[in-house]
Amino acid sequence: MTEAPHLNAIRQSYDTVAADYATFVKDPGALDPLSRAVLAAFAELVTAAGLGPTADVGCGPGKVTAYLSGLGVDAFGVDLSPRMVELARAAHPDLRFDVGAMSALAADDGELGGVLAFYSTHHLPPESLPGAFAEFLRALAPGGHLLLVTRVGEEEHQRRTYGYGGGDPAPFDSYRLPTDRIAGLLEQAGFAVTGQTLQAPEEGAKRPVAGFLARKPEGCRA
């Protein structure tokens, strides 16, 4: 199967900036209280359900994967960028990290108890989101949980030509969608949206952040 061009572009860009990104991105313990509370709520849901491991898709250098593990979650990371996965494995040798795409998870149907997409879906063109959400649903066990956190906007497309650190050229496309559209796409994929948060932009940021907790309904065999 031919890979979508945007996936190759994402991989190349994050391979280029991986070392700078690993330094730049905050440790989850240093995030704002609401972000930490949402992660803690998700961790509680998936550990209580006990349905299988949790995939942190778009895991980058593995900091959030490790944070979930510290909260008692059986978590592993997945990222398109081999360089990111290399850094994650070096920093967290006790955890599992795989190279792969969130749109084609290396998981059997119903294998996962949780899926976390923490600031990792905004690089996907909007037309690719239904396929990614359908893949999350497929891989989750009935009763499994999804947490998606992303910056939102009004159907905005931003292209940057330099990444973190301002070194080598690394183009990034970002898409900011309205919260109701993201929730609608999750529901259309088959999820039941069980909770939603909306945070005002942090100082220096231009877009609010939305969090979506969703669940694969019991009896759903998609």
Its pTM stands at 0.93
Task: Tell me which of 23-37, 53-67, 90-104 is least confident.
Answer: 23-37
Q: What pLDDT sits at residue 116?
A: 98
Rg of the chain over CA atoms, in angstroms? Answer: 16
Name the CATH superfamily housing domain 5-215: Vaccinia Virus protein VP39 (3.40.50.150)
- Percentage of residues of the chain with pLDDT beyond 70: 92
* Average pLDDT over every residue of 187-204: 90
Q: How far is CA 80 from the centre of its chain?
A: 12
Query: Is residue 8's pLDDT more than 60?
Result: yes
Question: Dihedral, CA atoms, 97, 102, 103, 109, nearest 10 degrees?
Answer: 70
Query: Is residue 1's pLDDT more than 60?
Result: no
Assess contact for 33 and 62: CB atoms under 8 A.
Answer: no
User: Residues with Cβ < 8 Å from 142, sequence gap 6 or more?
Assistant: 110, 216, 217, 218, 219, 220, 221
Paired tokens of 93: 């040798």
- Percentage of residues of the chain with pLDDT beyond 90: 73
Assess contact for 150 and 92: CB atoms under 8 A.
Answer: no
Q: How far apart are CA 80 and CA 12, in angstroms?
A: 9
Report which of 190, 50, 191 is spatially closest to residue 113, judged by C-alpha positions.
50
Assess contact for 115 and 132: CB atoms under 8 A.
Answer: no
* Average pLDDT over every residue of 177-182: 97
* Average pLDDT over every residue of 201-214: 83
Q: What pLDDT sits at residue 3?
A: 65
Report residue 59's pLDDT band, with 50, 70 and 90 as the boundaries: very high
Report which of 52, 167, 172, 190 is spatially closest to residue 115, judged by C-alpha positions.
52
CA atoms within 13 A on the CB side of 18: 22
* Average pLDDT over every residue of 35-60: 97
Q: What's the residue count for the chain?
A: 222
Report residue 168's pLDDT band, with 50, 70 and 90 as the boundaries: low
Question: Dihedral, CA atoms, 87, 91, 94, 100, nearest 10 degrees?
Answer: -20
CA atoms within 13 A on the CB side of 81: 25
Q: What pLDDT sits at residue 6?
A: 81
**Domain chopping of the chain, boundaries:** 5-215
DSSP 157-188: EEEEEE-TTS-SEEEEEEEE--HHHHHHHHHH
